[in-house]
Amino acid sequence: MTGSPLSFNQEFLLAFDSGHEVNGAFGERHTLVNAWRLTGPVDIAALQGALDDVVARHGVLRTTLERDGSEAGGGRQVVHPATAAHLTVLGVDDANRDHEAEALLNDIDAQPFNVRELPLLRAVLGRFDEKDSVLVLATHHAGTDGWSMGILVRDLAACYTARVTGKPVDLPHAPQYTQFAEWQRQYGSPTPEQVEYWRGKLAGAGMVAIPTDRPLPPDTVDVYAAHRFVIDDELSGMAKEFARSMRSTLFMVLLAAHKLQLRDMTGVAEVMIPTFTAGRYDDRFTDTVGPFFNLVPLLTDLSGARHLRDAVTRVRTTCLEAYANDIPFGDIVSAAPQITKAFGDPNGSVAAFEVLQHPDFADDLVFGDATGTAIRDRRVSQAVAANIPNGGVWALEVLRSGRIAGSLKYNRNCFDDSTIVEIATDFQRRLRSALT
């Protein structure tokens, strides 16, 4: 197998692979795990068949990333023949079904995922009874991103329904991820003006890291945890109303509040932290599964900013400029290599900041005679969670209830749990104070 070129994002994933994972395999805990509550009967044979249909439909789920051994960090992606997806069916304690559903999701999220064991899609069906169950899908970041998870479950529901009803599958055409990588290599390079923007914008600046409780020990296996919290109705509503009054997005308001927090924690006025963008630069690949997400640095000078209103005004400009110049993170680093220095700081942790936006079509689904509802309102923290390549992640999301749910992922090798709880609590305290 000769393979296809890597996408820029696959190169990024390989570059950030620490090599410290169990058995030396690439990113055994760099996983994505989502779950859906299924109400109604589930045909196990049809579910297995539908999983296999999805694996056959999306070649990236049976792809391995191969290094070429060069110092430049090149490589290739190799698509393998389709094999059956791994499906586990088990009974779940029904004493508190909502809690147990989330606990099952957390348990699967904590498990390692050998990227060499194809396909990169696994499923667990936890059954409370014949008409109430939890479907957990686990994938590897080498093959998916957040939007891709929505595509996968949409396709799975369609394939399952087709199998139990005998009707044909009605799904949009999905180009393969290898086609995107080839397109990106040929047409996806940034313009000189975009590169020059980042070179000028980031000149002399570096990422701001959250001070850790202790230095990160060298040559240790990462142990990530996730602290989860929910911002109450009143504060969530005030934040959304303030965003409207500022003609800004909720993301900009929450990011501004966090940047003010970082400024006060570190004493650094020019606050740069990364966020994630969709990275789907061509509409042809809307229904393609793959690791499209892109890391984009957001630098804001908060010198003299006394109020949240001041910070939001500056952050809005930061975001709009960055989105207009959204290019692969590797190209940004080439233009301003000093920005990655903080990732190697043993006394600090760079935490990306995002407000999650799941595709609407992935929330309510029809699985034959069953309905599937995405589990978004997660409140149970985890002592062991899926890893990220480096640092930490703030992830906030507006729930159907209107509340804002949050999670803060961190490495327990360098943070005490109590420190992370206090950072999250302090963020909410500052936000409330600023908005009242």
Q: Note the pLDDT tens digit of each residue in 227-240.
A: 999 999 999 999 99
Domains of the chain (ranges plus CATH)? 4-180 (3.30.559.10), 190-358+376-435 (3.30.559.30)
Residue 23 has pLDDT above 60, yes or no: no
Q: Is 226 exposed, middle or buried (0-12, 13-18, 19+ CB in 10 A)?
A: buried
CB within 8 Å of 410: residues ≥ 6 apart: 224, 225, 226, 227, 349, 351, 392, 420
Per DSSP bridges, beta strands 348-349 and 351-355 are: unpaired
- 254-309: pLDDT as tens digits: 999 999 999 999 999 999 999 999 999 899 999 999 999 999 999 999 999 999 99
Residue 27 pLDDT greater than 70, yes or no: no
**Res 91: pLDDT:** 95
- Cite the DSSP H helix spans in 115-191: 146-165, 177-187
Instruction: Return d(Cα 320, Cα 313) in angstroms, integer.
Output: 11
Q: Higher pLDDT residue, 74 or 57?
A: 57
Q: Which residues lie across from 224 on neighbouring strands?
A: 411
Contacts of 311 (CB under 8 A, 6+ apart): 256, 257, 259, 260, 300, 302, 305
Yes or no: say if 362 and 374 are a contact pair by the CB < 8 Å rule.
yes
d(CA 214, CA 41): 50
**CB within 8 A of 384, min separation 6: which ones?**
110, 223, 224, 225
pLDDT value, residue 67 = 80
pLDDT band at 16 (very low <50, low <70, confident <90, very high): low
**Across-strand partners of 64?**
78
**What is the reported pLDDT for 321?**
98
* Helical packing angle, 250-266 and 308-324, nearest 10°: 110
What is the chain's Cα-based Rg? 22
In whole angstroms, give the CA distance from residue 157 to residue 119: 18
**Residue range 220-229: average pLDDT?**
92
What percent of the chain has a predicted confidence (pLDDT) above 90? 82
Residues 6+ apart with CB under 8 A from 219: 20
pLDDT of 312 > 70? The answer is: yes
User: What is the mean pLDDT of the segment spanning 401-420?
Assistant: 96
d(CA 364, CA 414): 39
At 357 the pLDDT is: 82
The closest alpha carbon to 406, from 416, 398, 414, belongs to 398
Q: Is the pLDDT of residue 84 over 80?
A: yes
Q: How far apart are CA 146 and CA 144, in angstroms?
A: 7
